[in-house]
Structure 1
Amino acid sequence: MPERWLTYRSSDGSLYVDFYFAEYEDGSGWRIYIISPINYRGHPDGLSITHRIQEDGESYPYICWSQRIATYENALAVAALWADVTALYVQGKGTFDEIARKLCR
Structure 2
Amino acid sequence: MKATIWHNPNCGTSRKTLAILEETNGVELTVIEYLKSAPTVEKLRSLYDRAGITPRQGLRTRGSPAEELGLLEADDEAILAAMAVHPILIERPLVETDKGVRLCRPQETVREIL
Which has a greater percent of helix?
2
Normalised-by-shorter TM-score class: 0.3 to 0.5
TM-score using structure 2 length: 0.31
Bigger RCO (CA 8 Å, 6+ sep): 2
TM-score using structure 1 length: 0.33
